[in-house]
Amino acid sequence: MNESGAKSKLGRAETTDILKLLPHRYPFLLVDRIIDMDGDRSATGIKNVTANEPYFQGHFPGNPVMPGVLLIEGMAQTAGVLCVRSGAAPASPLVYFLTIDKAKFRKPVVPGDVVEYHMTKFAHRRNMWWYRGQAKVDGQMVAEAEVGAMVASMGAGAGGAD
């Protein structure tokens, strides 16, 4: 909440906004838009799962199921957009996973599903954030996890190529 007690709404982020905020690109951009952001505290991201996703070719052919690890990645990307958009993280950040805890997968996600990633911050220390996430389809929880990440500026960290 801000000084007046009102929420610090950041609104939405469309795909073009997300591409400016995160370094991820197809096929590893796993959130299509963010429909609600509250400061760096919470956000809801959307992923429209389509039959032409590349992972369906090899993940249970004939009975396509979205890999659970990609649901967690979508949760982390939603939280990453939130950190960068709120100004809590540096411009042009690199986000590195620190932890994935308490991951549970409750129901398969299949082509045609619309996944909602509900992320809520529960800790922040220096350049590290931790979020609780729930992935839901039609209001039913399909996965949940706690994710932690470290945010660094481009050029810092692992010394990657240009």
Residue 5 lies in a domain: no
Tokens of 32: 């299509």
Domain of 138, in residue numbers: 15-153
Task: Say if CB 81 and CB 21 are below 8 A apart.
Answer: yes
Q: Is the pLDDT of residue 26 over 80?
A: yes
Q: Is the pLDDT of residue 6 over 50?
A: no
Q: Is the pLDDT of residue 64 over 60?
A: yes
Based on the residue annotation, tell me whether 124 is a catalytic residue of this protein. Answer: no
User: Where on the phi/psi map is residue 39: left (φ > 0), alpha (ψ -120 to 50), or beta?
Assistant: left
pLDDT tens by residue, 36-61: 999 889 999 999 999 999 999 988 88
Is the model more confident about 119 or about 90?
A: 119
pTM: 0.86
- Region of poorest pLDDT, from 1-5, 27-31, 105-109, 151-155: 1-5
Residue 129 lies in a domain: yes
Residue 25 lies in a domain: yes
Cα separation, 66 vs 113, in Å, equals 10
Residue 160 lies in a domain: no
Q: Where are the beta strands (DSSP E) in 11-127?
A: 33-38, 42-48, 93-105, 114-125
Other CB atoms within a 10 A radius of the CB of residue 24 amount to 17
Residue 138 lies in a domain: yes
Residue 8 lies in a domain: no
pLDDT tens by residue, 135-151: 999 999 999 999 998 88
Residue 35 lies in a domain: yes
24, 59, 118, 124: the catalytic one is 59
Residue 51 lies in a domain: yes
Q: What is the pLDDT of residue 61?
A: 85
pLDDT range class, residue 86, cuts 50, 70, 90: confident
Q: Is the pLDDT of residue 78 over 70?
A: yes
Q: Is the pLDDT of residue 1 over 60?
A: no
Provide, rounded to the nearest whole percent, the portion of the chain with pLDDT above 70: 85
Is the model more confident about 141 or about 19?
A: 141
Look up the CATH number of the domain holding residue 134: 3.10.129.10
Domain tally, the chain: 1
